[in-house]
Amino acid sequence: MCWSATADLVAGGAITAVGVGCVTRAVRARPRAVPLAALPLLLGAHQIIEAVIWNDGGGSGPTVLAWAVIALPLLPVWVPASVWCAVAPHTRRRLIVPLAAGMVTSGALAYVLATSTVTAEVRGHTMGYSIGLPHAGWLLAGYLVATIGSLLLSGERGPVLLGVLAAVVAAVCAALWRWEFISTWCAGAALCSVALYWWLGRDSRTVSRS
């Protein structure tokens, strides 16, 4: 989330461009990391979708639902599954809990989206989304274990750094959004995408030297 339609659009385009670079590097140096490398493409699309929501002044409908699908059921299963693919097979056992948490959380959130209406409204310099989430605390815990937890437990330098950055970004953005001051998730997503690009670049240089 960004603080305006223009900011969302610019950030979304930049993050998408980084995502193209990430996928290119992954295909060359680490093919099994392609799903993880594609994460910035997903985040970039998310920002661009929100730019449309800003222009519409919030409300509900297919665009808001598309935003919610990416944010809620898709990310908590995409992140741990892509980390699972990216790491060495002998380290995957430690990812069983985050992957299971992601699947359960994703299923619960998908059910909520299928049975509820998501609405968006401008709140100061943020875009707020409303949806009735039962057991929100448990769902949030499962979401964090699936996304940030899988990165921190990956055992790979790049994903671990990405997990630390994501944790800090999530905490800062949550505080600023709570005050309805400004949403900075777009900057955080860009930072995480660049970190992912750097990690994949290290692998690419290793391949070119071998």
- How confident is the model over 87-144, as pLDDT tens digits? 999 999 999 999 999 999 999 999 999 999 999 998 877 888 888 888 888 999 999 9
Contact 165, 151 (CB under 8 A): no
- Residue pLDDT, tens place only, 64-74: 999 999 999 99
pLDDT value of position 177: 57
- pLDDT at position 184, please? 59
Averaged confidence pLDDT in the chain: 88
Domain hosting residue 108, numbered range: 5-209
Split into its structural domains, the chain has a count of 1
Higher pLDDT residue, 157 or 175?
Answer: 157
Percent of the chain at pLDDT exceeding 70: 90
Using CA atoms, how far residue 135 sits from 108, 109, 111, 112, in Å, is 10, 11, 13, 11
